Amino acid sequence: MSTTTSTESSGLLAALLPPFERANGCTVNVIAVGTGKALKLGEAGDVDVVFVHARELEDRFVAQGHGIDRKDVMYNDFVLLGPRADPAKVSGAVGPADALRRIAASKALFISRGDESGTHRKEQELWRAAGIVPKGSWYREAGQGMGEVLEMAFQKRGYTLSDRGTYVAFRTRIDLAILFQGDAQLRNPYGVIAVSPARHPHVRYGLARKFTDFLTGPEGQRIIAEYRIAGEPLFFPAMGAER
Amino acid sequence: MEFFADSMNAALSLLLSADPDILHAVLTSLLVSGGSILLASLMGIPLGLAVGLSEFPLKRPAVTLLNSLVALPTVLVGLVVYGFLSRRGPLGSLGLLFTPAAIVIGGTILCTPIVAHYAMVAAKGADARILPTAMTLGAGPVRAWLKFVSEIRFGILAAVVAGFGRVVSEVGIAMMLGGNIRGYTRTMTTAIALETSKGKFAEGMALGVVLMAVALIVNVFLSLLQQRRP
């Protein structure tokens, strides 16, 4: 299986795979790479199943006949963070667009990743949806990783957009509060796709199918829902309970 | 080879387009490096001359310490200054972290030992009789010292060039204390680090070429200054 680094580094796969391996008497070999690379491995038939988060790319992957049985597995989400005093009154916002408009209107400091990462792209998408071109001395593009940007937002008492996992990992060291969360626009969905046996006859489609069924079935969904780091859920199952 | 050809093309078009982001990064680099080397020279040159010319107990360990500080790692300087400027640190209330001033503080600490070391070597190599001779010829202590410094100006200039080269090319301090903020604290080296992290190697190389060109211009300027007779 090829997958993105987040499923592996978060420790989720270590909780998810052993029950499946025991039930089916197999070993899942995990290749954790970026989403683009993970799909390329599927395209080449080097893996039996891919588990990634990039909805558009996944749909193209299926449309081009490289994979079948795409299923939503889970999502993690982005959270809007800021100083507890919340000078821009973001916590009262009705949606992500409203939250960003409040920040822009009060010219409160906002720290952007500015590094063309997935989180940065998400942030740009949200500004576009809010109809704002963020510009000015209140909008700082750090050009660094999530951890550095969280530290900078804390030091400068600014706002920022973060994935929940990194925020949870940093929460004890930095005093930033989640001021807005839970909107559908802030979701980052993960999907699983079996590599097409028609295109690549050598792939183990039977097992791949069992795996996609396992991930989206009651046991897989329960493991995802119950997976916690420091008492916080990182991923939310796609089936059932909506937050 | 395609990589280098692409890089050269990208470097040329970056230079010709006079991209405002790049110009700002070049300017920030020159400004923080210039500020650092100015402060480091004001402290390092007198320090180096004093250590080089005077005799005092524990001189040998002092010289060894000074020489070791030349190898000060940039990330360590960054980390220590960060500790002071952070909101959890003693100087946190000044709000200097992630400003150009923070980079200047780190850069000054980085290159003061370098300037002092070169100044010390220059002072040791000079004819020690210059000072007393100038004094017997009727010069006051200030004029005698100026005469001495002018005699070893090549060594002093080498000190400034070495310190400037160190601070303009470092990335650890600029990244940790400046934060690589676009249009504010982004320097040429942190811009190169950013392009590389984005996988845009050609753009990173292009910026590297620009950095080398800037270093060349500065050094040409300094050596012209050196050739002028006072």
What's the CA gap between A170 and A95, in Å, rounded?
Answer: 25
Query: Smallest CA–CA separation between B81 and chain A, in Å?
Result: 14
Q: What are phi and psi of B97, to 5 degrees?
A: -60, 140
In this prediction, residue A240 carries a pLDDT of 58
Please determine, for residue A80, whether its predicted confidence score (pLDDT) is greater than 60.
yes
What's the CA gap between A32 and A34, in Å, rounded?
Answer: 7
Contact check, Cβ <8 Å, B98/A144:
no
Using an 8 Å CB-CB cutoff, list residues of chain B that contact chain A.
86-87, 97-98, 175, 179-184, 186, 190-191, 194, 197-198
Q: What residues of B are in contact with residue A148 (Cβ under 8 Å)?
A: 179
Task: Nearest by CB to B98, from A116, A141, A156: name it.
Answer: A156
Q: Are A103 and A127 in contact (CB under 8 A)?
A: no
Among chain A residues, CA nearest to B85: A155
Please determine, for residue B103, whether its predicted confidence score (pLDDT) is greater than 90.
yes
Contact check, Cβ <8 Å, A143/B190:
yes
**pLDDT of B165-223, one tens digit each?**
999 999 999 999 999 999 999 999 999 998 887 777 778 888 898 889 888 998 888 88
Query: Smallest CA–CA separation between B9 and chain A, in Å?
Result: 23
Radius of gyration, CA atoms only, chain B: 20
Contact check, Cβ <8 Å, B175/A144:
yes
Query: Smallest CA–CA separation between A140 and chain B, in Å?
Result: 6
Which of A6-10, A28-32, A136-140 shows the lowest mean pLDDT across its residues? A6-10
Three-class secondary structure of residue A59 per DSSP: helix
Please determine, for residue B84, whether its predicted confidence score (pLDDT) is greater than 50.
yes
In terms of Cβ atoms closer than 10 Å to its own Cβ (0-12, 13-18, 19+), residue B61 is exposed
Strand duo A2-4 + A31-33: pairing? parallel
Q: Are A212 and A69 in contact (CB under 8 A)?
A: yes
Task: Nearest by CB to A116, from B98, B182, B198: name it.
Answer: B198
pTM for the whole thing? 0.76
Task: Nearest by CB to B194, from A143, A154, A155: name it.
Answer: A143
Q: What are phi and psi of A106, to 5 degrees?
A: -90, 0
Which of A181-185, B72-76, B110-114 shows the lowest mean pLDDT across its residues? A181-185
Among chain B residues, CA nearest to A173: B88
Nearest to B174 by CA among B70, B28, B41: B28
Angle at B26 between CA B22 and CA B27, to 5 degrees: 115
Please determine, for residue B3, whether its predicted confidence score (pLDDT) is greater than 80.
no
Given the cut 0.90, state whether the ipTM is greater than it.
no
Among chain A residues, CA nearest to B194: A143
Using an 8 Å CB-CB cutoff, list residues of chain A that contact chain B.
114-116, 137, 140-144, 148, 152, 154-156
Nearest to A191 by CA among A235, A238, A150: A238
- In this prediction, residue B228 has a pLDDT band, given cuts at 50, 70 and 90, of low
Nearest to A222 by CA among A207, A237, A209: A237
